[in-house]
Structure 1
């Protein structure tokens, strides 16, 4: 089994950065990837690499990025050995949290129905055709693929979770050169004030940040003038100025800091210097959208709600409700 060759996967993007007058970012990313994969490799890397290597070769694969499931198709049916290797490889990359995906007829029913979120958000977006997009906290890249399917010129997803990277690579290995990249870095690992992207998505990230205003300012710095921010986060009901800060956990999550009201969130965006901020969707998260499946066998939302009153979390806080806000950088 070969070790993970990060240069093979990231050199094309680093080259793209240099060609885009982003030499500073290219140099920084090279240093970060060296530290991540050579100086301090993750203990599960060999297992994930083995699962990726186990996936069968499928000649002539095609992809449909416009359906609910990211769908890979082959010119003909896989033979029994290919199907067996595919199942083994994909199972080796469990748990699958964001999706769904369909690999040549093997349907991955992920914990989250991420297509539902996309269906709520997509009608309110500026035309993505030809745009350069950043997806912060992208998970395994499901929404990145949907953005590419909507015509984006280049999509860059960032998420520090290395299992997400291998799940992303499981898709990309069948597509060859595609204008979608996933970088295993955090928001704070990016150069400040890039001013590079036409659209920046931050979905499911803000409530994990100790300083939400700093996150909004970081997001604004990634955008070109006139660029669009798509922000999705947990909210609570209440007037302007109201925000919930959990005592310890929220829905069993330790790293949840602030759940603002929609009016408070709009005020934050205004103070961070965005314009034309508007709430385009507010939806309660249900156990139909986030749940345990055969591809994610750990506890999920049903285990995090009060069994006597599922409108509340197990800690007694209001149950999860998510708002999507769109705003522009002046």
Structure 2
């Protein structure tokens, strides 16, 4: 299955993102040829089978909601639910489609509620979300007024989940919200986005300083970075590097203190750096559901002392930090 991005290319041709067209179409075409995941063919078939339904209403300001129950015939509703469950596990959400709730592992709406009060106005802004998963926050960014909300994530299942949700968005909204199958290393130095989000990515990067520089290179002068990541308590020299796994995750490299992270940001060319939120992740915010039946946070904490991970490290503490490009 070839995913058609031609409308997106046409959309950015007359926008500040136009220079991206020098590299983007070839990168996407190369990705289209590499679809290596064994389930990709089945996911593509499932995507084509989704029923055609027009939403009578949309709410992106308070949730990600397309349509109401009366928009869809009962048989199509059952078909839609069965097909969408073939895209499990659903990690980030929730989504509401025609009265059906996709109850994802993460209550990403709770994270958005913590982040949103600290944002520059997104009205008519060009926004980038690096490592956006299935794109939940892209829809919320559009609901907050973004002119364009662009996400990047190389995960093939995430792309399919996003396309399943996007299918039910009105055309005017669809043209302004897109998820591209790229990683941050694939981005040229665009230096045009008004706001760059990176939520839940930094600790997965082997070189956090390089990653923060890559985030800076996407922002225009004085553009806002919104960084959400795992942190530890400590001074500006405190950084945790797990011996192996952290909360059962293999690909966790550096967990700095907020003071250390602010130092990193200053060294990487940011100013006006503020820690605007600290939140201990709860088992109500991250948990197994009917849409994500694997192990979740409760399984990753020490059952005798939930202030620690199962490996003995401090339990997940997440910070939101905002900064501006110098």
Shift of 1:165: 1.0
Post-superposition CA distance 1:152-176 (Å, at most 9, x none): 0101001111111111111211222
* 1:246 alignment counterpart: 242
In the alignment, is the contact (CA less than 8 A) between 2:93 and 2:107 conserved in 1?
Answer: yes
Post-superposition CA distance 1:12-68 (Å, at most 9, x none): 222233333656532422222222222444321221112212221113543210123
| Distance in structure 2 (CA, Å) of the matches to 1:35 and 1:278 | 39
| Distance in structure 1 (CA, Å) of the matches to 2:303 and 2:144 | 40
Shift of 1:263: 0.6
Q: TM-score w.r.t. structure 1 length? A: 0.94
Which one of 145, 156, 159 corresponds to residue 151 of structure 1? 145
* 2:27 alignment counterpart: 32
| Distance in structure 1 (CA, Å) of the matches to 2:154 and 2:96 | 24
| Distance in structure 1 (CA, Å) of the matches to 2:95 and 2:140 | 11
* 1:189 alignment counterpart: 186
Distance 1:278 1:97, change over 3 A: same
Which one of 22, 38, 43 corresponds to residue 48 of structure 1? 43
| Distance in structure 2 (CA, Å) of the matches to 1:25 and 1:16 | 12
Where does the alignment leave 5 or more consecutive residues of structure 2 unmatched? none
Post-superposition CA distance 1:62-96 (Å, at most 9, x none): 3210123x111148342222112111111111111
| Distance in structure 1 (CA, Å) of the matches to 2:198 and 2:29 | 26
| Distance in structure 2 (CA, Å) of the matches to 1:60 and 1:97 | 24
Any idea what SS the aligned residue of 1:199 has? strand
Where does the alignment leave 5 or more consecutive residues of structure 1 unmatched? none
In the alignment, is the contact (CA less than 8 A) between 2:55 and 2:71 conserved in 1?
Answer: no
| Distance in structure 2 (CA, Å) of the matches to 1:77 and 1:230 | 37
RMSD: 1.5
* 1:323 alignment counterpart: 319
Which one of 121, 132, 139 corresponds to residue 127 of structure 1? 121
Describe how 1:216-227 pairs up with structure 2 within 5 A: 216-227=212-223
Q: TM-score w.r.t. structure 2 length? A: 0.95
Instruction: Check if 1:111 corresponds to 2:105.
Output: yes
* 2:8 alignment counterpart: 13
| Distance in structure 2 (CA, Å) of the matches to 1:240 and 1:75 | 52
* Count of residue pairs the alignment pairs up: 323
